[in-house]
């Protein structure tokens, strides 16, 4: 029984560590890619927001506008942009293409796609974490 408890504790610690790393990666990615328009806190008040021809949405209210549920897959598609699902009209960059271009030279085609998906998932889970109820 003690061995099981030790394994459970180690598993929990590793999961918590991975979640913290994912959260930190998402926060860093958000600060680099999103904060200039959406603001550091996600309220749509970034330094470039006033220059946009469309309103920059408050990213902290996504769940509130979706019956309290965070639509993770939909958000992943919006961030990626390569699937034809675009965010706020056509002003939002196609981050999937941008992330792929920056990773292709160092990781090859397959490795670049893995990196793109990781970066987009980190962003989406960060957005889920900043939701206001």
Angle between helices 2-33 and 95-129 (to 10 degrees): 120
The model's pLDDT over 42-68, given as tens digits with 9 standing for 90+, comes to 999 999 999 988 889 999 999 999 999
Would residue 48 be called left, alpha or beta, if left means φ above 0 and alpha means ψ between -120 and 50 degrees? alpha
pLDDT digits over 78-116, tens only?
Answer: 999 888 765 555 578 889 899 998 888 887 777 889 999
Q: What are the structure tokens assigned to 105, written together? A: 């030279």
Handedness of CA 123, 125, 90, 83 (dihedral sign): positive
| pTM for the structure as a whole | 0.78
> Do the beta carbons of residue 107 and residue 117 sit within 8 Å?
no
CA 65 – CA 57 distance, rounded (Å): 12
């Amino acid at each position: 029984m003690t061995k099981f408890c030790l394994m459970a504790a180690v598993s929990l610690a590793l999961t918590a560590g991975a979640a913290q790393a994912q959260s930190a990666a998402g926060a860093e990615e958000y600060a680099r890619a999103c904060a200039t328009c959406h603001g550091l806190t996600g309220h749509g008040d970034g330094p470039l927001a006033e220059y946009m021809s469309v309103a920059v949405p408050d990213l902290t209210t996504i769940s509130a506008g979706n019956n309290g549920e965070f639509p993770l897959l939909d958000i992943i598609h919006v961030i990626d942009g390569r699937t034809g699902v675009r965010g706020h009209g056509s002003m939002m960059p196609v981050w999937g293409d941008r992330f792929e271009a920056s990773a292709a030279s160092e990781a090859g085609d397959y490795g670049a796609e893995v990196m793109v998906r990781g970066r987009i998932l980190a962003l989406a889970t960060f957005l889920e974490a900043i939701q206001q109820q």
